Amino acid sequence: MPRSPSASPFTLPDPFSLLPRYPLLYSTPSPIHPLQTLTSSLSHPPTPTAPTYSLYTKREDHSSPLATAGNKYRKLEYIVPDILHHSTTTLVTEGAIQSNHTIQVAAVARKLGLKSIVLLGKDVGGGLGAARDKDAFLRSGNVQVARVLGADVRFVGSEPDPDPGPGSTGIDRDDPAEMVLKEVRRKGEIPYWIPSGASLHPLGGLGYARGAFEIISQEEQADLGGSGRFDYIFVACGSGSTVGGLIAGFKLIEKLARRDGPSPRKVIGILNSPTKPREYHEGRVLDFARRAGALIGLEPGDISMDDVWLDDRFVGSAYGVLDPKTKQTLEMMARTEGVILDPVYTAKVFRGMMHYVQHNELVPPPSPSEHINALFIHTGGQSALGAYVDVD
């Protein structure tokens, strides 16, 4: 396994440090920077007793040298050793048409010298339905990137595949993934299945459990006001192991600190799809957090539903649809900070974070300053933006 040229800037406790990880990220942490213009715009609280805020963002879109860096690389770092262990020839995965996850799997395949097959579901979410130019939506943005990476891109779902690649099995309404796995095995090759967002993979939550340790190592250097911590951390909840992993990581950090310090850091997961109820996601996130927790040294009872805080107020009209309020947020961030969000996840998350701040929905940590440090995790996804060109 290749070694990073510089050592990790933080250490993990045992048994976490013993779990195999294949480096896909830069050896330095993804940057955290203040959102200065937005923070200044909040500097006059509406009442003298209201808290003041400092807003920051962690740039998981700048975490890896690989294609259109995003949050899946951090998860895949812990899955690659298992991929190699199985003598895999072909990674197989699935996602929505403009999936970022499948791009990251395709790039990892290339980095490892493997092939990839990506199944893009036409019926997943409302992105395709809402696009005025459906043909463009099926060819641009992340679909184009997947093809540039040499992935075997296959559309699945109710509509016929407009562009069946060589060797494509075309459409299978029953279980396209199973068909593809069989097809690869028939050729004498070894497929490796990575479920959507890598969340249902048993190792899927470890990357962001490690990410929590990275965040506290950056807190120490950031010279934050108030509690000196990121009191609230806002992150997308799609397939759920990003938020689940963070919950597990912060829980282990708290448990190891074993002292009455400031109140615990709170992770708030912002949902981006109205398809399934919040309770469904809460159950999954709790499972992912506990599963990661068991591998890093926590007991099942250490994490409870009280640790899972998901918000479904910002889901918009459908998964993958840029509703007017989310679009406003995307433009606001671009025009105040010069930072580009993605239309599917991060614009909804940031809309949520600004809502919490503007409506005083966050309780300051116990400190005389009544100050709140809020961290927005930018999980990437801007490469889908080109496919949303005709949204208005």
By annotation, the residues acting in catalysis are 99
Nearest residue to ligand PLP on Cβ basis: 381
381 lies in the binding site for ligand PLP (CB under 6 A): yes
**Smallest distance, ligand PLP to C-beta of residue 171, A:** 25
74 lies in the binding site for ligand PLP (CB under 6 A): no
199 lies in the binding site for ligand PLP (CB under 6 A): yes
**What does residue 234 show for φ and ψ, rounded to 5 degrees?**
-100, 130
Angle between helix axes 324-337 and 346-358 (nearest 10 degrees) is: 80
70 lies in the binding site for ligand PLP (CB under 6 A): yes
Query: How many CB atoms are located within 10 Å of the residue 337 CB?
Result: 18
Identified binder of ligand PLP from the candidate list 241, 273, 326, 373, rule CB under 6 A: 241
Residue 93 near residue 146, CB atoms below 8 Å: no
Region near ligand PLP per CB under 6 A, out of 45-53, 259-267, 323-331, 341-349: 341-349
**Smallest distance, ligand PLP to C-beta of residue 205, A:** 9
Amino acid identity, position 51: P
379 lies in the binding site for ligand PLP (CB under 6 A): yes
Q: Which one, 222 or 271, has the nearer CB to ligand PLP?
A: 271
* End-to-end CA gap in the chain: 47
**Smallest distance, ligand PLP to C-beta of residue 76, A:** 12
Q: Which one, 106 or 237, has the nearer CB to ligand PLP?
A: 237
Region near ligand PLP per CB under 6 A, out of 112-120, 153-161, 305-313, 373-381: 373-381
Q: Which one, 312 or 342, has the nearer CB to ligand PLP?
A: 342
Q: CA 373, CA 352: separation in Å to the nearest integer?
A: 15
**Tokens in use for 259?**
């002292």
Residues that bind ligand PLP (rule: CB under 6 A) add up to a total of: 19
Region near ligand PLP per CB under 6 A, out of 14-22, 156-164, 305-313, 374-382: 374-382
**Tokens in use for 208?**
């962001």
Q: CA 172, CA 156: separation in Å to the nearest integer?
A: 7
71 lies in the binding site for ligand PLP (CB under 6 A): yes
292 lies in the binding site for ligand PLP (CB under 6 A): no
Residue 226 near residue 369, CB atoms below 8 Å: yes
220 to 239, contacts with ligand PLP by CB under 6 A? Answer: 236-239
**Smallest distance, ligand PLP to C-beta of residue 285, A:** 8
**Tokens in use for 376?**
């927005």
Angle, CA of 360, 361 and 364, to the nearest 5°: 80
Non-local (6+) Cβ contacts of 170 within 8 A are 160, 161, 164
Q: Which long-range contacts (CB under 8 A, 24 or more apart) does 79-82 make?
A: 79/194, 79/198, 79/201, 79/203, 79/204, 80/22, 80/24, 80/108, 80/112, 81/1, 81/20, 81/21, 81/22, 82/203
Q: Which one, 140 or 199, has the nearer CB to ligand PLP?
A: 199
- 15 prior amide bond cis, ω within 30: yes
Q: Which one, 51 or 238, has the nearer CB to ligand PLP?
A: 238
Q: Which one, 64 or 241, has the nearer CB to ligand PLP?
A: 241
Q: Which one, 183 or 287, has the nearer CB to ligand PLP?
A: 287
91 to 120, contacts with ligand PLP by CB under 6 A? Answer: 100-101
DSSP state of 290: H
**Strand (E) or helix (H) holding 220:** helix 206-222
197 lies in the binding site for ligand PLP (CB under 6 A): yes
345 lies in the binding site for ligand PLP (CB under 6 A): yes
The residues of the shown chain that bind ligand PLP, judged by CB under 6 A, are 70-71, 100-101, 197, 199, 236-242, 342, 345-346, 379-381
